[in-house]
Amino acid sequence: MNHHCDDLFRSSDSDTPTAAIAAARTAGAAIRGSGMGRAAAAASGAGTCTAAGAASGAVSRAGVTTASGTALRSDAGSASSTALPPGATAAAGRDITSGAGARAGPASRTALAPESSSKARRQSADLAAGHRDRLRDRFDRGEALPDYELLELLLFRSIPRRDTKPIAKALIAEFGSFAAVVSAPAARLLEVSGVGERVVGDFRLVRATAERLTHDTLKARAVLGSTDAVVEFYRAKLRGVAREEFHVLYLDKKNQMLASECAGTGTVDHTPVYPREVLKRALELSASAVVLIHNHPSGDPSPSRADIAVTAKIMEAAQPLGLSVHDHIIIGANAFTSLRGEGYV
């Protein structure tokens, strides 16, 4: 028994039996804590020397060098990682190398990514909110905002959680002005990146509001002598319309508006108009006068021969009925033509 102990002591890395026993007990405790020291624990009943020797042998076979304080490693690769949990330390406190331990660093860094992303989103939202507040303050102070900023203000309602400046600038670049954007067809608006059905619906609401405001203004005042009011109303109504539309403004004896109705819709350069239908509706409304209005989608308000001819026909048919034709106004992109001003009425 004593010779066996001496052999085991000599097989250890320690120079003295006392140091070997201390080292063996340290390694044996670590191995028993991980569930791998059952053999050494069982041998302890045969005596301290046997337990120490068995533990020392196990440690020697595992390639553990505790006296120098290096990390516990296994030549086989799997025994060490099973015997000791990741992050355990030997006598000098160095980390044990294991597969799980090697992956801990990158995993920890990955776990922080969502928090960083959330912080970046909050900072972006704060910046956007600050920009919106400043733009609203400028508007409230009565500053004359450029078209794209006025459009941006409108988009705040439609797109509450997104930077709307790039969208506003893209719309102005595509259509040319605030009025042209608001009046543009839905299909073309939806072609612009960032524009959805909600934006299109809000633009339609703005257009309807503008029409209602000018309509009420027109209704409250005498039309004769206020051609500009008529032009303002129909420009808002016909801006951006892709086809010609022929409208008739029916007036009473005081030149107050009775009704405004579309008498016909045509192609890009022609609208069929039937004088009989225009006069029939005038009699139904007990109108005393009419103003004829139509648009030129090309943007050029110059009257065509057909425009002059249809005006003459309506005037000729209206005369026996005591119905006056005050004017025929052609609405272009940024200008209009009055046939009365041109001498045709």
Q: Are both 238 and 198 inside the same structural domain?
A: no
For the whole model, what pTM was predicted?
Answer: 0.47
Buried b (16+ CB within 10 A) or exposed e, 259-291: ebeebbeeeeeebebebeebbebbeeeebbbbb
Domain that includes residue 24, residue range: 2-97
Angle between helices 48-62 and 2-11 (to 10 degrees): 30
Nearest to residue 136, comparing CAs of 148, 149, 122, 127? 149
**At which of 157, 177, 208 does a domain end?**
208
Is 213 a domain residue? no
Measured in residues, the chain has a length of 345
Contact 6, 53 (CB under 8 A): no
**At which of 97, 119, 154 does a domain end?**
97
Is 345 a domain residue? no
Torsion from C-alpha of 173, 176, 179, 183, nearest 10 degrees:
-80
Q: Are both 118 and 160 inside the same structural domain?
A: yes
Q: Are both 192 and 255 inside the same structural domain?
A: no
- How many domains would you assign to the chain? 3
Strand stretches in the chain, DSSP E? 245-251, 257-265, 289-295, 324-331, 336-338
Q: Are both 92 and 172 inside the same structural domain?
A: no
Q: What is the domain-level CATH number for residue 293?
A: 3.40.140.10
Query: Collapsing DSSP states into helix, strand and coil, what is residue 89?
Result: strand
Q: What is the domain-level CATH number for residue 147?
A: 1.10.150.20
Q: Are both 331 and 226 inside the same structural domain?
A: yes
**At which of 166, 182, 208 does a domain end?**
208
Contact 223, 251 (CB under 8 A): yes
Q: Are both 128 and 86 inside the same structural domain?
A: no
Q: Are both 204 and 225 inside the same structural domain?
A: no
Nearest to residue 233, comparing CAs of 244, 219, 252? 219
DSSP structural state of residue 96: P
Q: What is the pLDDT along the chain (345 residues), one digit of tens a residue?
A: 444 444 444 444 444 455 545 555 655 554 454 444 443 333 344 444 333 333 344 443 434 444 344 444 444 344 344 444 444 444 444 444 444 444 444 444 444 455 556 655 555 555 566 778 888 888 888 888 899 999 999 998 888 878 889 999 999 999 999 988 998 889 999 999 999 999 999 999 998 888 888 777 766 666 656 788 889 889 888 887 889 999 999 999 988 889 899 999 988 888 889 999 999 999 999 999 999 999 999 989 999 999 999 999 999 999 999 999 999 999 998 899 999 999 998
Distance CA 297, CA 240 (A): 7
Is 102 a domain residue? no
Is 104 a domain residue? no
| Backbone Cα Rg of the chain | 46
